Structure 1
Amino acid sequence: MSVRTTPGVRLLPNAITVLAMCAGLSAIQFALNDELAAAVAAVAAAALLDGLDGRLARLLDATTRMGAELDSLSDAMSFGVAPALTLYAWQLQDNRVGWVVALIYAVCMVLRLARFNTLLDNTEQPPYAKEFFVGVPAPAAGLLVLVPLMITAHLGREGWWSEPAVIMLWMALVGGLAVSRVPTLSLKTAKVPPQLVAPLLVLVVVAAGGIAVFPVISLVIVLLVYLLHIPYAVYRHHWLANHPEAWSAPPRERRAMRRRSQRRLGLRPPLRRRVAGAARRVRLPRRGQPDGPRRSWRRLELRRNRDEQAPR
């Protein structure tokens, strides 16, 4: 019996999904014990395991309907219920509005996951739709909403970022991004140009080293960079929607099309080399010479008479 058909191996992706759910829910217990760094680590572990179970299921050819439903339920618990209850147990217990905001965030995450499942069966989407997520994905949202807790865990003290009003506003904002239709890039279909492979690997090493030495604050920086990519994702999605000819083009040709469209809009700076009709460079006068640029028959594009060119 091969590895792909072994029943025990087929259970491995579902076991990882269950471990992800347990890790996410453990963040609540850590928050109740005032172990903030452990609560962040639990949700981060859940996000890491969530990224592994689906890939492992496809690798082992063990994708099932039950696994897909279990993955959605695990995401709802790990990145919806667990972060909401963690923040509520940390700072919002004495605030009645805090429980309402926690419920709103959890409901937004469940709605986001339900919409994600319905989009999987939609065959009318354009080809470029697979390059984007609709809204912020559940693992990213579950980590983003814990940024105030991360900052407090790193600094070891509370500040304006840990005020209940700020936390409730932040939870509402992240929940809104998760359930919104704002496009975000999907790393599953991202293609890196060959010339950017080496710099990207260096950045990965820097990020891994930062997370190993300063895990909490490095994770905060990565999450903020992720937020900053959203305007670019919106621009790219809008450009692809208006250029059907680029839907099936390879990345190199697509970048060339984008550069041409930018050049037509006048967004690129002018080239340095001289073109027809461009103004010539004007030199400043040297010391001891009268004001005004130097003039010569070559710069004025005038030819000398043959009599003047003949030797005397």
Structure 2
Amino acid sequence: MATPGVRLLPNALTVLAMCAGLSAAQFTLNRQYDAAIAAIAIAAVLDSLDGRIARLLDATSKMGAELDSLADAISFGVAPALMLYIWRFGGDRVGWVFALIFAVCMVLRLARFNTLLEDTQQPPYTKEFFVGVPAPAGGLLVLLPLILTNEYGDHGHWWQSKTAVMVWMVAIAALAISRIPTLSVKTVKVSPRAVAPLLVLTGLLAAAVITYPLLTLAVVLIAYLLHIPYAVRRKHWLANHPEAWDVPARERRAIRRAHGSQQGRLGVRPPLRRVAGAARRAVLRPMRNADWPRFSLPNDPRPPGARGRAWRRTGIRKNQRPGESKPR
């Protein structure tokens, strides 16, 4: 059981994440959009750390879960909606409606997430996926038009129009409340061989963030969107293969390869080639056993009686020549 001081640490990180989200709105009011985007990114990092630290320190509590949901609603629902409204829809009532739609959808997504945590009847493989786009990813994805504008300037690009921003807000809100699976990194286990390459990639990512922060964030967000079809396919495969639910990653890959090779053996082309080869051998075998001089086998070790059995099996008389009709 964790001490009160240790239990305070995850909740303190959650409060810091909420303060970062509120600060993003304040930076937006001052037209400091780079600082606002950085505040939302910091809130996302803190949100990913508080839950992990709480589980490592055995300091999870119901109060912490409720506080985390409240902080996510502010940092990734209310704050991004206000940022986009002030940036592109200042004073526009239609734009305020779209800002409300996004904020409400993010709150509904968080409410559903809390109810799914209490559901213990789900299959084991569901722990590897989120239902819909999680709140931190949604809060950053919806800011992609603002991120690209700060990177490339406000020069009338298509993603800077009000219509494009409205459509984008609705699309991200729909992904947040949808049932589309997205990968969860909470259950990812890193093998010892992959530690060194991952550390190198982490260093490269840190260098890219320091050198080109907005461009790197935009590339990461686009890559996250592109992973969704893979997540859908992976969950569909796991749902149809219960034998791979509770096995390590290496055994799961072996099961996938085994099923892939089995499907290849059951395909169309390989059986046709085997059937064609069998038919060719069935035709040539009687021809080799015939008494015709051009098809006779001089060193045939079989006895004379066995040489004519192939003719009887195929229903052709031994002495019948090509082109001759069967005697009546």
Would you say same fold, with TM above 0.5? yes
Query: Residue 184 of structure 1 aligns to a residue in which SS?
Result: strand
Letter in structure 1 aligned against 2:247: A
Give the match for residue 203 of structure 2. 205
Gaps of 5+ in 1: 268-275, 280-312
Bigger helix fraction = 2
Letter in structure 2 aligned against 1:101: F
Letter in structure 1 aligned against 2:94: V
Structure 2 distance, partners of 1:225, 1:40, is 18
Structure 2 distance, partners of 1:210, 1:90, is 26
Give the match for residue 241 of structure 2. 243
Change (3 A) 1:148 1:66: same
Q: Alignment RMSD, CA only?
A: 2.5
Letter in structure 1 aligned against 2:106: M
Instruction: Identify which of 80, 97, 101 aligns with 2:98.
Output: 101
Query: Residue 133 of structure 1 aligns to a residue in which SS?
Result: strand
Give the match for residue 161 of structure 1. 159
The higher relative CO (CA closer than 8 Å, separation ≥ 6) is in 1
* Bigger CA radius of gyration: 2
**8 Å contact 2:154–2:160 — kept in the other structure?**
no
The answer to whether the aligner puts 1:132 opposite 2:129 as a matched pair is yes
Q: Deviations over 1:245-299 (max 9, x none)?
A: 11112111111111222233339xxxxxxxx99x9xxxxxxxxxxxxxxxxxxxx
Give the match for residue 75 of structure 1. 72
**8 Å contact 1:28–1:89 — kept in the other structure?**
no
The answer to whether the aligner puts 1:42 opposite 2:39 as a matched pair is yes
Structure 2 distance, partners of 1:224, 1:130, is 24
Give the match for residue 53 of structure 2. 56
Cα deviation for residue 191 of structure 1 reads: 2.7
**8 Å contact 1:127–1:248 — kept in the other structure?**
yes
Query: Residue 209 of structure 1 aligns to a residue in which SS?
Result: helix
Give the match for residue 218 of structure 1. 216
Structure 2 distance, partners of 1:98, 1:111, is 20
Gaps of 5+ in 2: 266-273, 278-328
Q: Deviations over 1:200-230 (max 9, x none)?
A: 3332222111011111110110111111111
Letter in structure 2 aligned against 1:49: L
Query: Residue 157 of structure 1 aligns to a residue in which SS?
Result: coil
Structure 1 distance, partners of 2:127, 2:250, is 18
Give the match for residue 18 of structure 1. 15
Q: How does 1:275-294 map to 2 (within 5 A)?
A: none
Cα deviation for residue 95 of structure 1 reads: 2.7
Letter in structure 2 aligned against 1:71: D
Cα deviation for residue 10 of structure 1 reads: 2.1
Query: Residue 265 of structure 1 aligns to a residue in which SS?
Result: helix
**8 Å contact 2:141–2:221 — kept in the other structure?**
yes
Cα deviation for residue 196 of structure 1 reads: 4.2
Cα deviation for residue 30 of structure 1 reads: 1.2
Structure 1 distance, partners of 2:52, 2:250, is 27
The answer to whether the aligner puts 1:113 opposite 2:140 as a matched pair is no
Give the match for residue 297 of structure 2. none
Change (3 A) 1:207 1:131: same
Q: Deviations over 1:123-144 (max 9, x none)?
A: 1100100011101110011001
